């Protein structure tokens, strides 16, 4: 393999020794200028002056679909894929597209990650934890359906889903339809002799899906429901749970409190115990890393886990390449080398990156090609 050439040619117009700022406005974009376009309707004098003051320096870049490595141009972009594309300077298959390809080819069933969790199928339960949504930002419902179906066809006799409702990347209230869809699949599996049920749930912003260690109590609420089988709300089925909890004042999908599904005797139907297998099925990393640490790190001390089951755990992808977290995963992430940050380091250019608290990973992790830490100057 040839040694990489790290030399950066001089810019044709920008002089050396000047400070250059790259400012990313999360959620800012160009769309049809109508009354439903909040950016068009709002007063934006600074952006207008930048755009109109130097039209020859103004360029539009696509931040969705195939331009940033997503399956189709119907897929909206998100922070992770956008920063990955900016940092890489070229297109890599990302997130949903990687999983789609692995499922379509069947490679997902042949690789180390699935065969690792499969060792628990004979005597244990397969637990699937993640966002039940078709938003395509963190997860996608059709992929979850295929994972459930494929696992059952390959020996999983007992399956439990621990669902997180969305309402952020999709319409609030859509959780009911998603639950109805997956419940139909689970009912068909039960007819075939597979014990498949939803075991717990909660809203994504209140249960499990915190990021960048902003609030560990969010992850703890998920741990209590998913692992310990304990939650303040108990129901006979998930549809009843979500409809009842959504009826509360100011309730919405994002912030539903944790709940567990119980049997006729009031016992949780799906706590995670020794010998089980666990898959976190979100393909996007940022809101799964904290749970992955709780599931995998033996010296974890962010909250009292009470009970730490001996499980076989795999992520949909590896969520942190530097930490090797999780150590097992169903789909291999893209290897992104020669990122913009690495080029700057190799050329002796000092950089400073900052962001709001819950976005720091986007300017440190994704711009570095899914790696945390520092680049070597040599």
> What is the CATH number for 262?
3.40.1450.10
237 in the same domain as 134: yes
The range of the structural domain enclosing residue 145 comes to 107-315
182 in the same domain as 82: no
296 in the same domain as 156: yes
251 in the same domain as 348: no
In a domain, 23, yes or no: no
CA distance 47 to 52: 8
Residue with tokens 């310990």: 228
In a domain, 322, yes or no: no
In a domain, 160, yes or no: yes
pLDDT of residue 224: 98
In a domain, 326, yes or no: no
E-state strands within the chain: 126-131, 158-165, 195-203, 233-235, 259-261, 277-280, 312-315
pLDDT of residue 232: 98
Residue 164 phi/psi, 5-degree rounding, is: -120, 125
275 in the same domain as 135: yes
218 in the same domain as 308: yes
Q: Pick the last residue of a domain from 267, 285, 315.
A: 315
What distance lies between CA 95 and its chain's CA centroid?
8
372 is catalytic: no
**Considering 79, 120, 175, 200, which one is annotated as catalytic?**
79
pLDDT of residue 364: 66
In a domain, 212, yes or no: yes
In a domain, 67, yes or no: no
CA distance 43 to 26: 18
The low-confidence residues of the chain, meaning pLDDT below 50, are: 1
Q: What is the dihedral of CA 321, 323, 328, 331, to 10 degrees?
A: -20
256 in the same domain as 115: yes
pLDDT of residue 253: 98
263 in the same domain as 114: yes
pLDDT of residue 365: 63
pLDDT of residue 1: 47
- 83: helix, strand or coil: helix
Are 322 and 308 within 8 A, CB to CB? no
299 in the same domain as 160: yes
The predicted model scores a pTM of 0.80
In a domain, 267, yes or no: yes
Are 94 and 126 within 8 A, CB to CB? no
112 in the same domain as 86: no
pLDDT of residue 100: 95
pLDDT of residue 322: 74
- The total domain count for the chain is 2
């Amino acid at each position: 393999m040839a040694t990489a050439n790290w030399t950066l040619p001089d810019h044709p117009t920008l002089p050396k020794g000047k400070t250059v700022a790259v400012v990313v406005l999360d959620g800012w974009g160009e769309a049809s200028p109508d009354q439903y376009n909040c950016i068009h309707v709002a007063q934006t004098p600074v952006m207008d002056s930048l755009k109109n003051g130097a039209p020859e320096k103004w360029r539009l870049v696509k931040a969705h679909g195939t331009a940033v490595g997503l399956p189709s141009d119907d897929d909206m972009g998100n922070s992770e894929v956008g920063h990955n594309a900016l940092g890489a300077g070229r297109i890599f298959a990302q997130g949903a597209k990687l999983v789609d390809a692995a499922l379509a080819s069947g490679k997902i069933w042949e690789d180390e990650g699935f065969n690792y969790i499969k060792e628990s199928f004979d005597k244990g339960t397969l637990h699937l934890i993640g966002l039940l949504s078709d938003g395509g930002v963190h997860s996608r419902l059709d992929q979850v359906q295929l994972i459930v179906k494929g696992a059952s066809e390959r020996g999983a006799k007992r399956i439990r889903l621990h669902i997180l409702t969305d309402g952020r990347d999709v319409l609030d209230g859509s959780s009911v339809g998603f639950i109805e869809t997956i419940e139909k699949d689970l009912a068909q599996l039960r007819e075939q002799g597979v014990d498949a049920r939803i075991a717990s749930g909660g809203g994504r912003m209140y249960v499990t899906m915190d990021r960048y260690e902003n609030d560990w109590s969010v992850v703890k609420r998920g741990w209590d429901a998913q692992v310990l089988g304990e939650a303040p709300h108990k129901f006979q089925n998930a549809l009843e749970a979500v409809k009842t909890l959504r009826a509360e004042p100011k309730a919405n999908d994002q912030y539903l409190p944790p709940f567990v599904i119980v049997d006729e005797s009031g016992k949780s139907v799906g706590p995670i115990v020794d010998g089980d297998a666990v898959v976190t099925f979100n393909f996007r990393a940022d809101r799964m890393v904290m749970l992955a640490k709780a599931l995998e790190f033996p010296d974890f001390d962010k909250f009292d886990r009470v009970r730490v089951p001996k499980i076989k755990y795999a992520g949909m992808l590896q969520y942190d390449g530097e930490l090797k977290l999780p150590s097992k995963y169903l789909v291999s992430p893209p290897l992104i080398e020669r990122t913009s940050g690495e080029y700057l380091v190799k050329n002796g250019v000092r950089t400073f990156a900052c962001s709001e608290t819950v976005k720091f990973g986007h300017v440190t992790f994704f711009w570095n090609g899914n790696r945390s830490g520092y680049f070597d100057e040599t």
